[in-house]
Amino acid sequence: MRILTVAVAFIMISVSVSAFFSQLPDPAIDIIHYEFNLLLNDTTDNIEGRTMIMLVFRDPVSEITFDFKNYDSTGKGMKTASVTFDREDVKWHHEGNMLKIYPGKMASRGDTGIISIDYSGIPADGLIISRNKFGNRTFFSDHWPDRASNYLPVVDHPSDKATVDFIITAPWRYEVVGSGHLIEESDLPGGERLTHWKEDVPLPVKVMAFGAASFATSLAGVVEKIPVWSWVYAENRDAGFNDYAVAVKPLAFYCKLIGPYSFEKLANVQSKTIFGGLENAGCIFYSENSVTGQGRAESLIAHEIAHQWFGNSVTEKDWHHIWLSEGFATYLTSVYLEKTYGVEQLVRSMTAARERVIRYYERNPAPVIDTTVTDLMKLLNANSYQKGAWVLHMLRFEIGEEDFWKGIRLFYERYRYGNALTDDLRQVMEDVSGSDMGWFFHQWLYVAGQPDLKITTGEGNVKGTIIVSIEQMQDYLFTFNLELGLKDSKGIRNEKIRVSDKITRISLKADPDALITIDPEVRLLFRKK
C-alpha cells in the first residue's frame, strides 16, 4: 500500500491504537476457502453475515480458533448467533478477538470440514461504512493488516492463503466490485441486488476485498488477456476514467519484466481506504482524492500494481518480512519510471529514498527485519519501503543486471500463489548468481544502519596519483562497492572500489586537482560523515 498525506497519517495513528496482533495460525489447520455472505442496508450500519469456511486438518484438533472481534461496550463488533460444523450445530465460545469452535468429533489428518458461522453487528473497523466526498453512502472493505477480523471470522495471517467468494446483498442502487470474477448479479424482490464475486486464486485475507457504491465503470484496456477496469464514483466519471486509464502501462511493463499476472482481472477502484492506496488482489482500492483529472496517480498506480506480483501472488510468510512486499513495490515503481521516462527518474527516486532511510534511522535505529515490532501498522516505515527498495537496488549492481532480473523472475515463478521468507529470496539469488549471498542479506536486512563513510583525498607520492582513504565509522563493518567519479585533464570516468575493511586506502591515477564525486550513479546506501 501507499501512505499519503498528513490527514491519512493521522487516521492511521488512531487505527494503530486499536490494532491487535492476531494469533499465529494453528499449524494443524489450513483454510482452503472462505465464502462471505453479507447483507448490507441503508437504515443502519448493522450488517448480517454468514461465513462458510472450508478447511483441511493437518493434525487432529479438538478446537478451531478464528480471529473475530466480539461486540463490546461501544456497541460495535460482531455477535455470533450460531455455528455448524459439517452441518451440525456445535459448541462455540466468542470472546474478545477470538471465536473458538469445538467440532465435537476428532478429525484425522487430511480430513476436510466446513464451518458455517451466522452473525451480525456493526463493524468497528475493517469495513468502512461512511459517506464519500459527494455525500453518498458507501461500503469499502479495508483489511490491511489484520483488520478484516473486525467483521469477518478469519485466520488473519498472511501465511494462510485461501480462495474466496464475496456474495453481497445490498439495496439496488449499489454496484458491487470484488476480488476475482463476477459470477452473478441479480435483482431480488424487495429492492435489493445480489452480487457474487469469486476469486479462484488463493489470497491472504489482508488483500481480499469488496466495495459497494454508486460507481461509473469503464474498460480501460486489455493487457495479456487481462481486462483492466476503472471503477470510480459516478460524479468522478470523466476525471476518474482519465486518471486510472494509465494502469495498462505498468501492468504491461511488469508482465514483461517479471512474469504472467496472477489474477482474473485488474480493477482500479476509487474508495474510502484509509491508505493512499491498498493493493487488494486484482481489485486495487485508491483513496478518493487520488482522482484529480490531472493524471497525477501514475506512480501510486504503478506501486499498487507491482504488489499484484509481490505481496499478493508471492506473499510474505510472516509480517516482519513485509519488505518483500513494500520494498519490492517501491523499487519496481522506480524501475517502471526509469524505463518509461529515463534513468534520471531512478536516480531521483533512489536519492530521495536514501534521505528518508537515513532520517528514519536517526530516529529509529532498527534493522529492516525487526521482530520486536508488535503493532503491525508500525511496519509501514522507511525500512520496509525505502530501505527495502535500496536492498534490491544494491543487489542489482552486486550480482549484475542479468542475474538480478533472472532472480526476480525465478523468485516469482517459484513462490507464485504461495508464501516466501527473506531466506527464500536469498536462495534464489544464490541459485542464479552462483555466489554466496548470505553476507549481503545479513548486513542490509538484519543489521541496523548503513555505512557511515569518512572519505578523504590527498596527493600521492607518485606524480599523477591521488590517494583516497575510505573509513567506515560505524561499528558493524559492511562490504560493498563504492564508485568514485573522476574528472580531470584525462576526461571523465568512474572507479569502482571494493570496501570491507575499517579503512581502505587506494591510489588512483588522476591529476592532483581532479574533481571527485562520491557515488555518482547513486548505487550505495551510505551516510557521509
Question: Helix/strand/coil (H, E, C) string of 212-265?
Answer: EECEEEEEEEEECCEEEEEEEEHHHHHHHHHHHHHHHHHHHHHHHHCCCCCCCC
Measured from the CB atom, the residue of 329 and 337 that comes closer to Zn ion is: 329
CB of 121 closer than 8 Å to CB of 70: no
Taking the complex as a whole, the smallest distance from the CB of residue 300 to Zn ion amounts, in Å, to 10
Taking the complex as a whole, the smallest distance from the CB of residue 303 to Zn ion amounts, in Å, to 6
Q: Which helix (H) or strand (E) holds 59?
A: none
Taking the complex as a whole, the smallest distance from the CB of residue 350 to Zn ion amounts, in Å, to 17
Locate 369 and state its grid cell: 527485519
Taking the complex as a whole, the smallest distance from the CB of residue 447 to Zn ion amounts, in Å, to 24
Q: Can you state the angle between helices 388-399 and 323-341, rounded to 10 degrees? A: 60
Q: Does 1 bind Zn ion (CB under 5 A)?
A: yes
CA atoms of 331 and 350, how far apart (whole Å) = 9
Q: Does 220 bind Zn ion (CB under 5 A)?
A: no
Measured from the CB atom, the residue of 1 and 314 that comes closer to Zn ion is: 1
In 58-151 the beta strands, taken as DSSP E runs, fall at 64-67, 77-85, 88-89, 91-95, 98-102, 112-122, 127-131, 137-141
Q: Does 525 bind Zn ion (CB under 5 A)?
A: no
Q: Does 329 bind Zn ion (CB under 5 A)?
A: yes
Q: Give the DSSP per-residue string, 182-193.
A: EEEEEEETTTEE
Measured from the CB atom, the residue of 306 and 499 that comes closer to Zn ion is: 306
How many amino acids of this chain bind Zn ion (CB under 5 A)? Answer: 3
CA distances 313 to 61, 261, 391, Å, are 30, 9, 21
Residue 427 has a CB neighbour count (10 Å cut-off) of: 18
Measured from the CB atom, the residue of 350 and 484 that comes closer to Zn ion is: 350
Candidate segments 100-108, 220-228, 318-326, 428-436, binder of Zn ion by CB under 5 A: 318-326
Please state whether beta strands 419-420 and 315-316 pair in parallel, antiparallel, or not at all (unpaired).
Answer: parallel
Q: Which has the closest alpha carbon to 288: 221, 229, 227, 213? A: 213
Measured from the CB atom, the residue of 269 and 486 that comes closer to Zn ion is: 269
CA atoms of 286 and 270, how far apart (whole Å) = 5
Candidate segments 18-26, 220-228, 326-334, 365-373, binder of Zn ion by CB under 5 A: 326-334
Measured from the CB atom, the residue of 1 and 425 that comes closer to Zn ion is: 1
Kindly provide the b/e burial profile for residues 483-522, where b requires at least 16 CB atoms within 10 angstroms of the residue's own CB.
bbbbebeeeeeeeeeebeeeebebebebeeebebeebeeb
Candidate segments 15-23, 218-226, 321-329, 344-352, binder of Zn ion by CB under 5 A: 321-329
Measured from the CB atom, the residue of 49 and 327 that comes closer to Zn ion is: 327
Q: Can you state the angle between helices 388-399 and 343-363, rounded to 10 degrees? A: 130
Measured from the CB atom, the residue of 47 and 208 that comes closer to Zn ion is: 208
Taking the complex as a whole, the smallest distance from the CB of residue 365 to Zn ion amounts, in Å, to 24
Measured from the CB atom, the residue of 230 and 308 that comes closer to Zn ion is: 308
Taking the complex as a whole, the smallest distance from the CB of residue 384 to Zn ion amounts, in Å, to 9
Taking the complex as a whole, the smallest distance from the CB of residue 479 to Zn ion amounts, in Å, to 30
Q: Does 484 bind Zn ion (CB under 5 A)?
A: no
Candidate segments 1-9, 25-33, 74-82, 458-466, binder of Zn ion by CB under 5 A: 1-9
Taking the complex as a whole, the smallest distance from the CB of residue 497 to Zn ion amounts, in Å, to 35
CA atoms of 436 and 446, how far apart (whole Å) = 16
Candidate segments 113-121, 145-153, 327-335, 489-497, binder of Zn ion by CB under 5 A: 327-335
Taking the complex as a whole, the smallest distance from the CB of residue 305 to Zn ion amounts, in Å, to 10
CA distances 347 to 214, 330, 338, 376, Å, are 41, 14, 8, 31
Taking the complex as a whole, the smallest distance from the CB of residue 277 to Zn ion amounts, in Å, to 7
Candidate segments 236-244, 259-267, 322-330, 512-520, binder of Zn ion by CB under 5 A: 322-330
Candidate segments 122-130, 207-215, 245-253, 329-337, binder of Zn ion by CB under 5 A: 329-337
CB of 232 closer than 8 Å to CB of 291: yes
Candidate segments 191-199, 319-327, 471-479, 506-514, binder of Zn ion by CB under 5 A: 319-327
Taking the complex as a whole, the smallest distance from the CB of residue 2 to Zn ion amounts, in Å, to 5
Q: Which has the closest alpha carbon to 206: 149, 259, 146? A: 146
Residues of the shown chain interacting with Zn ion in the complex, contacts defined by CB under 5 A: 1, 326, 329
